[in-house]
Structure 1
Amino acid sequence: MKRFEGKVALVTGGRSGIGRAIAVRLREEGARVFTAQRGADPDFDHVVADFTDPEAPAKVVGEVMSRAQQLDVLVNNAGVMQEASIEAMSLADWQRSLAVNLTAPFLTIKGALPHLRATRGAIVNIGSIEGIGCNPNHAAYSASKAGLHGLTRAVAVDHGPDAIRCNAVAPGWIDTDLNLDFIETMPDPDAFRRGVGAIHPVKRTGKPEEVAALVAFLAAEESGFITGQVYTVDGGRMTRLSLP
């Protein structure tokens, strides 16, 4: 029997990148998967949602329950990244980052909790190594992902007695279409590709499917004694010290 046979999963931001790999992996293992994002998803059951709207998370959860009558796995993956120094960043841009990356997961979890309590379900939040460290000009992104890691621990503590587990995955450089397209904008894409690979002890960047594999494990019953944890998936990048 597949690990998610008879289960229903919701993956926000599941139409592309890491979210798409997660949705595919959960479906391959038997789940009925819903994705939720700004546009339609021709490959999955989906709900169109703008997560800057504070009413969207409850509507998404309500739609999943209306169509599937249960929810077993919630993956909060939708996110945005804006590059600006603190002095250059507007309050509106700051608030947009926090709205999508932190407030939307909070509200989605809040809406999902009664249904996850009924199924003894699992939550996996997609954080970032930038919730642990930070690249230049990523103040809002880093702050929002650090907050998501903290929210992960809080949910695990408060709702462990409900048999609801909550963990987070913190990816590093992953070869999503967005990142691959970014590399192609460099003056020397091959040199940039070699350079970004070299900062990892494993000497390469990661694949979306490698993140999805960990998410599936954390959502499955076999990880039933794991909660409140943040797992880096970064090829050892955060472990390696810079040269003295």
Structure 2
Amino acid sequence: MADNMQFLGKVVLITGASSGIGAATAKHFAKLGASLALNGRNKENLQKVSEECIQVYGKTEPLLLVAELTDENATKAIMEKTINHYGKLDVLVNNAGILETGSVENTDLAQYDRLMNTNVRSIYQLTTLALPHLIATKGNIVNVSSVNGIRAFPGVFAYCISKAAVDHMTRCAALDLAPKQVRVNCVNPGVTVTNLHKRGGMNQEQYEAFIKKSQETHALGRPGTPEEVAKTIAFLASENASFITGATVPVDGGRHAMCPR
């Protein structure tokens, strides 16, 4: 099979696919021939991503699943609808996540709960629901974490905790599922040019300054693009990564390796 159609006949479920890394990942998998189930909260954006998948690559229409992942029943419905529609699942990409700023001094329990529910608990639930289907196909999971899971940063207390939890969940699930030949990995993006930071509370001016500062905080001298993360996700989900499991792969321009000097 040509490498560029390596996901032909494979069903890939991507959460948070209506923008940013999730949208780029959907388009990249479409290009590689995958049958897509796309979840997001914004119906219009999700529809737009779906149209781009069809337009650019002329593939079959993705299954669109508008749902809030912190709603347990809605998350159950995502898995049920995917299996009802396609009959199987080969790859789960747990990409949905939120960012909020706040230090240990000013982060309340409500913020902790919001971040842990979206960034950790929803992955936990969707993973457990996907398992019978992934075991049947010897499929795999790719979680989207952050360099904040590998390194500590001030001012994003609950977010860092949530991403460290995703990294360890990835490793533990990988060991639990290795006997079943289901691989579990995650990517750890650095600053990536998406709407995440603005949705997390930055205004345009702050965001531009933040992106400029990224030239210094990333060894390669720039922030990343959603497409660069998407390509790494697809690699980890592919047969090219058949002997990789329990890995946290930084896609961060070297940021995880840097120290102040």
Band the TM-score falls in, shorter-chain normalisation: over 0.9
Counterparts of residues 26-105 of structure 1 (less than 5 Å): 26-40=29-43, 41-42=46-47, 43=50, 44-105=62-123
Supply the distance in 1 between the matched residues of 2:223 and 2:203 (Cα, whole angstroms): 12
Cα deviations by residue, 1:175-224 (Å, 9 ceiling, x for unpaired): 1144589573239x4x6543321222211111111101110010011211
Match of 1:115 among 133, 148, 153: 133
Alpha-carbon distance in structure 1 between the residues aligned to 2:210 and 2:82: 42
> Contact 2:98/2:196 (CA < 8 Å) preserved in 1?
no
1:120-131 equivalence runs, <5 A? 120-131=138-149
Deviation of 1:37 (Å): 1.8
Separation in structure 1 between the aligned mates of residue 94 and residue 140 of structure 2, nearest angstrom: 11
Instruction: State the partner residue of 1:24.
Output: 27
Paired position in structure 1 for 2:206: 186
In structure 2, what is the equivalent of residue 234 of structure 1? Answer: 252
Q: Does residue 168 in structure 1 map to residue 171 in structure 2?
A: no
Shift of 1:91: 1.7
Contact in 2 for aligned 1:4/1:26 (Cα 8 Å): yes
Question: For 2:164, what is the secondary structure of its paired residue?
Answer: helix
Q: TM-score, normalized by length of structure 1?
A: 0.93
CA positional deviation for 1:76: 0.2
User: How many residue pairs were aligned?
Assistant: 241
Q: Which runs of 5+ in 1 are unaligned?
A: none
Q: Distance in 2 between matches of 1:193 and 1:71?
A: 37
What does residue 235 of structure 2 align with?
217
Matched-pair contact (CA < 8 Å) for 1:129–1:170: yes
Q: Is the 8 A contact 1:183 1:193 kept in 2?
A: no
Q: 1:28 offset after TM fit, Å? A: 0.5
CA RMSD in angstroms, aligned pairs only: 1.8
Contact 1:130 1:146 in 2 (8 A): yes
TM norm structure 2: 0.87
Name the structure 2 match of 1:10.
13
* Residues 222 and 66 (structure 1), Cα distance of their counterparts in 2 relative to 1, 3 Å cut: same
Provide the rounded CA distance (Å) in 2 between the counterparts of 1:206 and 1:183.
20
- Aligned with 2:92: secondary structure? strand
**Letter matched to residue 235 of structure 1:** G
**Counterpart position of 1:149:** 167
Q: Structure 2 unaligned runs (5+)? A: 51-61
SS in 2 for 1:238: helix
1:24 partner amino acid: K
Is 1:204 aligned to residue 222 of structure 2? yes
Q: Partners in 2 of 1:59 and 1:196 — Cα distance?
A: 39
Question: Which amino acid counterpart does residue 185 of structure 1 have in structure 2?
Answer: E
One-letter amino acid of the structure 1 residue matched with residue 13 of structure 2: L
**1:83 & 1:186 partners in 2: Cα distance?**
13
